[in-house]
Structure 1
């Protein structure tokens, strides 16, 4: 067996993916740079660590299930929705996450609630946290199916172990009593150990109507609002203001 093949084989056994896939590149660069033995060993380890961090971040971002638009670096402050530059900057520092605070983003459709929630999940993942984005509709399906499918159960277990869970469009549609109870049980489990971001176009007072259970709604709000910042977004829909058309202007 050639030396290069042996390197690939041993790298595979040791799970040194970068070295396994690119030994020629590493050796060619070493022939040019002529590093010392110590420098060459350090280079190999640095490449592997960087590769693993990159693939781990890509894996966690995929698991976060973010919507297409979620980069808060591109946030449009020209949109008059009540979100200020200092306010968003403070949210992006994630100190509230480290203190297990919740966020409720409340406002009409199109005012940036989902964009901000997804962007904060993106920031949290890149900061090393376990963070996930899920719509209320998707969550209800997970709660119903977790006893029946491994996919739903795995998703549910990830939520239980998360540092941050963003739930989009809560109370957009009425939910059945057993679904509401399952949702309460999840929130009760996450209470004070996981930060939760809620986006909703309904006021807390309207939650009881959507759940058709004032006691359950009160208990749910009691846990969410205990350590919580409520951010009210206002204004017209960003999507309608920037609506695309197929016709020439």
Structure 2
């Protein structure tokens, strides 16, 4: 009976951590189509799924073209992290900047960074999809610098590191962010076709086969 009570409590705690993580959707690694992404090493993913990288304040960087499932992977790793007992906070790069910009405008920047640091894993999705001005780049740098060797970050980007200067309008700031992110990190450079492209091809093939 005690074991059941402990299991029920752990399940409720995990449910609460998933809720406070603010995932756009709850997706799991078990639901990810690994066959679609042969460039993803299964052994590396299995190791990351244990959540041990969070306990070591290490990062995970997912680089690759749009549509291959990087957001799904980031959410799935986040869910695994909550199940391992760690707190997670998820958002897009654009929303992170909006959040920090509002905090700075209201004079509570340090308090906001401290609040974010309480989460063991911060997930920053879609870096590179929208360009930022230098002011936003400085905010983003503060976010990364505040977590350096203090907490983990998962970052997804459609751009290689060599093009981050384009996104942040400043090669020096981009280089400083990259330096802190990759110092203790697993960097996964992924290749593959977009899920939507593949599904469109499959539908067209079925349509042609039906007409034939």
TM-score tier by shorter-chain length is 0.7 to 0.9
- Following superposition, the deviation at residue 96 of structure 1 comes to 2.3
Partners in 1 of 2:128 and 2:157 — Cα distance? 7
The aligned residue for residue 124 of structure 1 is 81
Q: Which residue of 2 aligns with 1:76?
A: 33
Q: 1:77, 1:84 within 8 Å by CA — same for their partners in 2?
A: no
Say whether residues 1:190 and 2:190 are aligned partners.
Answer: no
Name the CA distance, whole Å, in 2 between partners of 1:94 and 1:47: 24
SS state of the match for residue 35, structure 2? Answer: coil
- What whole-Å deviation, never above 9, does each CA across 1:14-34 have from its counterpart, x for those lacking one? xxxxxxxxxxxxxxxxxxxxx
Question: Structure 2 vs 1, CA of residues 196 and 239 (structure 1 numbering), >3 Å: closer, same or farther?
Answer: same
- In 2, Cα distance between the equivalents of 1:68 and 1:217? 29
CA distance in 2, matches of 1:62, 1:113: 21
Deviation at 1:94, TM superposition (A): 2.3
Aligned positions of 1:138-217 closer than 5 A: 138-147=95-104, 157-217=114-174
Q: Which moves more between the two structures, 47-56 or 67-76?
A: 47-56
Q: Give the greater-gyration-radius structure (CA).
A: 1
Q: CA deviation at 1:81?
A: 4.3
For the residues of structure 2 that align with 1:62 and 1:148, how far apart are their CA atoms?
Answer: 28
Work out which structure has the larger RCO, using CA pairs closer than 8 Å and 6 or more positions apart in sequence. 2
Inter-partner Cα distance in structure 2 for 1:97 and 1:115: 18
> RMSD value over aligned CA atoms?
2.8
Partner of 1:103: 60
- How far residue 97 of structure 1 moved from its aligned partner, in angstroms, is 2.3
Distance verdict in 2 for CA 1:216–1:158, change over 3 Å: same
Paired residues in the alignment total: 203
| C-alpha distance in 2 between matches for 1:232 and 1:74 | 21
- 1:91 aligned residue: 48
> C-alpha offsets along residues 157-212 of structure 1, whole Å, 9 cap, x if unaligned?
54221211110011211112221111111111100011111100111111112222
How far residue 116 of structure 1 moved from its aligned partner, in angstroms, is 0.8
Q: Which TM-score applies when normalising by structure 1?
A: 0.72
Q: TM-score, normalised by structure 2?
A: 0.84
Structure 1 unpaired stretches of 5+: 1-42
Alignment pair present for 1:55 and 2:12: yes
Partner Cα distance (1:48, 1:143) in 2 = 40
Q: How does 1:215-234 map to 2 (within 5 A)?
A: 215-234=172-191
Gaps of 5+ in 2: 208-212
1:108 partner SS: coil
In structure 1, C-alpha distance between the alignment counterparts of 2:66 and 2:125, rounded to whole Å: 12
In 1, the alpha carbon distance for the partners of 2:38 and 2:94 equals 25
The residue number in structure 2 matching 1:66 is 23
Q: CA deviation at 1:55?
A: 3.1
